[in-house]
Amino acid sequence: MNDQNDKRPFADGVSRRSFVSVGSAALATAALSGLAANAQQREDTTRAEGDHSSSDPGPENKLLLGLNPNSNTPPPTDHGDIGPIWYSFDLARKRVEEGGWTHQVTQRELPPSRDLAGVNMRLTSGSFRELHWHTADEWAIMEYGNARVTVMNPDGTMFIDDVSEGDLWFFPAGYPHSIQGLGPDGCQFLLVFDQGMFSEDNTFLISEFVAHVPPEVLKKNSRLSSSDIAKLPKEQLYIFSASLPRSLAADRAAIGGSSIAAPQQYTFKMGSMPPTVQSAGGEVRIVDSSNFPVSTSVAAALVKLKPGAMRELHWHPNAAEWQFWLAGKARMTIVMPEGRARTMDFNANDVGYVPPVAGHYIENIGNTDVVFLEMFKSPHFVDFSLNNWIGRMPPEMAAAHLNLDESALKKIPREKQPIIAG
């Protein structure tokens, strides 16, 4: 991909990092999963360069470890094993077609992620992701460029709209739809599906439907002539080049105008909505079924953290968290029962996973803004704040549990602060 197409959106001009190729994606995941377990056994709590306990005289992938310092030499508070919580789209096999490409991170690559899977896709100007449908609901966010999307309801009403950077769409399972890249340079987008084992290769395509029905049945069904049927695709199109469409208004008019327009709004302008939460440390935009009614199975938050800021200590009671990292550099610690804890580093194009109801935080450890998505298989975004909980306890209860006196407890913020400035 050229430099122009390699820009990551929502990043205030930050370009996507070049991630080192490490041979086998599975081996890379296993290696990162094992780094903390090996390094955390040392008793001292220093991370000095001369610390002999954490030295490694054997072979190392210096570039990979340089991107993951907290994974390589974790803080002494890490303990035990909670399983893999990191993967990267830059390790995923990319399927390249004439007109674009696609690659995915599913439960195959990130085994604990049973509820959600992600697909990153690029379409050049005019190119289609061909007409198709899925067994899973599809939630999407535009990362770059412009596209035209269509979806049909069971009653035959149609929805057509144009989307650009920061916009969302949601297509229910089984609903036929299409995506076409527009000018000047097509588009790139993230698709999120509500099935962990979803595969982008396992979709129902209009080309394969007509290619595998006997010609005489097609003729009877469609009233096409034999010569017409001979022109139909004989294999899948999947992603393919095409001419740019007419204007949005012209396409809407061509299919019947308002008389067949879908009553539902299947797109949402997330990028231009006012922040749900805004503070000196950053901002959060939350989109779920309360403000995007068709999104009945996926809730999301787009989070921006300024340098040094952090997403406060919290947990989600209703679903696991699937993350997509758009820009910047951050670290996250997840705390599980029996004192298990794991810290990992995240960079642009990474995927993160937080088990259901696990406590965690996210901290910007770079010098540019961190931007990431929190995704949940749920109609609603819900979280609990540790500070808020402590602040709502009777003082004696908090003191008994935390061994703090009243003056110390008063220092802890009583209200929920999704983002804490650095």
Binding site feature residues: 132, 134, 138, 177, 314, 316, 321, 360
Q: Is 369 helix (H, G, I), strand (E, B) or coil?
A: coil
- Pick from 51, 19, 21, 54: nearest CA to 35: 54
> Alpha-carbon distance 369 to 359, whole Å?
23
Dist CA 316 CA 182 (whole Å) = 38
Paired with 321 in beta bridges are 354
**Residues paired with residue 311 on neighbouring β-strands, in sequence order:** 362, 419
Rounded Cα–Cα distance for residues 298 and 238 (Å): 25
Distance in angstroms (rounded) separating the CA atoms of residues 363 and 347: 12
The Cα-based distances of 236 to 186, 201, 228, 263 in angstroms read 21, 11, 18, 31
Omega cis (within 30) before 75: no
Taking the C-alpha atoms of residue 293 and residue 288, their distance in angstroms, rounded to an integer, is 7
Q: Which positions make up the binding site for Mn(2+)? A: 132, 134, 138, 177, 314, 316, 321, 360
Residue in 60, 374, 406, 415 annotated catalytic: 374
- Can you name the residues that pair with 261 across neighbouring β-strands? 158
- The β-bridge partners of 310 are 363, 420
374 among known catalytic residues: yes
User: What burial letters (b/e) apply to 255-277, b meaning 16+ CB within 10 Å?
Assistant: eeeeeeebeeebbbebbeeeeee
Give CA–CA dist 141/270, Å, rounded. Answer: 9
* Tokens coding 415: 């209200």
Contacting residues for 63 by C-beta, under 8 A, at least 6 apart: 20
The CA distances from residue 174 to 156, 159, 222, 278, 342, in Å, are 14, 15, 22, 37, 38
Which residue in the block uniquely carries the two structure tokens 């149609």? 158
Residue 348 and residue 117: Cα distance in Å, rounded? 17
Residues 6+ apart with CB under 8 A from 259: none
Q: Which residues are catalytic?
A: 374
